[in-house]
Every structure is written in C-alpha cells, then in structure tokens.
Amino acid sequence: ILRLGAGLSILLKRPIRIKNIRANRPKSGLRLQHLKGLEALANLTNSSLSECQVGTKEITLYPKQTLQSKIEVKIGTAGNIGLLLQPIQIACLGFNKPEKIEILINGGGTFGKWAPSLNYLKEVTYQIFRNHGYDIDINIQKHGFYPKGGAIVKCTLYPPKDKLKPISLTELGKIDLIRGEIIITNQLRKNKVGERIRTSVLKHLKKNLDCNFKIDYNYVHSLSPGVGLSLWASSDTGAIISSGTILGERNITSEKLGELAANELLKYIKNGIPIDNYLSDQLIPFMGFVKDPSRIK
C-alpha cells in the first residue's frame, strides 16, 4: 500500500495520507528502506513529504509536477533497491520530460527476501515495460547482500514520450529460450557454488523441455556473502515468465537451489501461464495508466 500509494499519488497528482503503516508487523511503522524510498520519490519529484523517520506510522505526501534529472540515494543497510524503485517507476509514467532521469544508488541490496532482485527487474519487468513503450535501464556496478548491503547501482528512466501500448499477455505460446543469471560472491568461489547451481538447473530443465538454454554464473565482490539467481523464459507471444528471485541459504545445497529455481519456472510453463506471480503486481499500475484496455491471464 505504501509504495503503490506513494507512486500513484505522484502519477495522478493527488495528495495522499497513509495511516497505520505496517501496524500489524512486529516492528510497526516505516523501516529504513521505506523511508529512503519515500525520501527519494519526494526529492526526485520536488514533492512535499511530511516529517518522518524510522518507526513513523503516518505520512502525508503532496505531489508536484516537476522532475529532477538526477538524484543520489544513500542506503546504509541492505534495504532492497528493487522495492525502493517501485514507486519511482510508477510516478515517472506520468511525465514526458526530462528526457532521462538518473538515480544513483550507493548502498542497499540487489538481492533480498520477499523482494525482486535487480536482475529480475532488468530482464523481466523492465523488458515488458520496454516492449510497451516505457524504457528503464539498470546498471549494477556492485552487488549487495544482507546484512551489509553496499551495492552501487545506476538506474536510468526514460519517461515515455509516445503513447504507451496496452499489454496483452493471455497465452504463453512456445518457449524459444530460457536464460538465467546466478550471482555468487567471491567468498563462495572455492566451493564452486556457481558451477554446481548451473549444472543442477540445466539437469532439471533439460529433463522437461526441448529448447535453447543460456544459464550464466558470475562471481562478484560484495561486503556480505550470498547467492541469488533468477531464471526467465521468453515465448513467441511476447511473454516473459520467471522463477522469481531464489536466494541461497545455509541449509540448502547448491544442487537443491538449482532444482528449486528450475521447478519454479517449470510450473508456469507446464500450466501455460504467461504471467508469473511476481510480475503481475508490477504490471497492474502500468496497465491502469495506459488508455487502451490491457489483458493478462
């Protein structure tokens, strides 16, 4: 509610007051990643945000109709960058200038529990947006994992100049290619985690599918050790479905992690579903703003 409401407030140019923020959570009120997201949105759009801090349970946002061309966001924890970008990507739908907006993010996590990874956003959500007239680019200079974060990311948004195309994704169609990206921190290189996950993914996919595969793994420097992966499949109808973001855990082997990711993707393919659970939430605000009717299944 908080992220969608704030983004829609800017998009629709209507003030919003949100009360009882996260009231039923063990730690109620704003957490740092919510606070940073609201501050970034207000800064980018020159909007007026009520005074708030970690723990604040009520906020008011008065939108403005101008955008800055560049802002910098600093996150001192592993707060998820994908969640921070969600209200911003909604808000920028309603502007046609400046031609591009740069958001420089120092800190935070590129992977996190219950949140979209940046490789998922880049290869799935933002690719669907791009196909329908809204271009967003992600450049990951450094990955960040829980608990220290420390990512360095540049996000460039291009507010749409032309009429946005409606989304019509009701059939999965034929899968042309399955791609995947496995990110592993250097602390885990000696155990060949990336190689083992890739082998497991391909083993389980090839047992069930006859198509092309391109599964990559990359070892990266990060302040905290971690593993994250996402698989996605492109079809001849324009659909892109995904396993979502799969995170490594201490009690899950590399082989099991690869199997989990493959099975998540396979359940959509076997049932002919053209939109995964994670993508539908991202598409609905876009669909609501496009003038012509959109359809997803």
Q: Where are the domains of the chain?
A: 2-165+278-289, 175-270
**Which one-letter amino acid corresponds to residue 293?**
P
| pLDDT tens digits along 117-131 | 999 999 999 999 999
pLDDT at 76 over 90: no
What CATH class does 2-165+278-289 carry?
A: alpha beta
DSSP state of 254: H
pLDDT score recorded for residue 224: 97
pLDDT score recorded for residue 110: 98
pLDDT at 262 over 90: yes
- Note whether 197 and 227 are within 8 A (CB): yes
pLDDT score recorded for residue 206: 96
pLDDT at 109 over 90: yes
Angle made by CA atoms 163, 2, 241, in degrees to the nearest 5 = 55
pLDDT at 103 over 90: yes
Predicted TM-score (pTM) above 0.85? yes
Percent of the chain, pLDDT > 90?
A: 90
pLDDT score recorded for residue 293: 95
d(CA 83, CA 296): 23
Query: What is the DSSP track for 23-82?
Result: TTSSS-S--HHHHHHHHHHHHHHT-EE----TT---EEEE--S---SEEEEEEEEEEEHH
pLDDT score recorded for residue 126: 98
- Note whether 158 and 136 are within 8 A (CB): yes
Residue 207, token pair as written in the block = 């047992």
**Which one-letter amino acid corresponds to residue 287?**
M
pLDDT score recorded for residue 114: 86
Q: What CATH number belongs to 175-270? A: 3.30.360.20
pLDDT score recorded for residue 213: 97
Mean pLDDT computed over every residue of the chain: 95
| pLDDT tens digits along 34-73 | 999 999 999 999 999 999 999 999 999 999 978 999 999 9
Residue with tokens 């994992």: 145
Residue 238, token pair as written in the block = 């324009």
Find the mean pLDDT for residues 232-249.
Answer: 96
Pick 31 or 156 by higher pLDDT. 156
pLDDT score recorded for residue 65: 79
Pick 207 or 161 by higher pLDDT. 207
The alpha-helical segments, DSSP class H, found in the chain are 2-12, 32-45, 81-91, 118-120, 126-131, 193-206, 254-270, 277-289
- Note whether 217 and 185 are within 8 A (CB): no
Residue with tokens 């992220």: 3
Find the mean pLDDT for residues 273-295.
Answer: 93
| pLDDT tens digits along 195-219 | 999 999 999 999 999 999 999 999 9
Classified as helix, coil or strand, 257 is helix
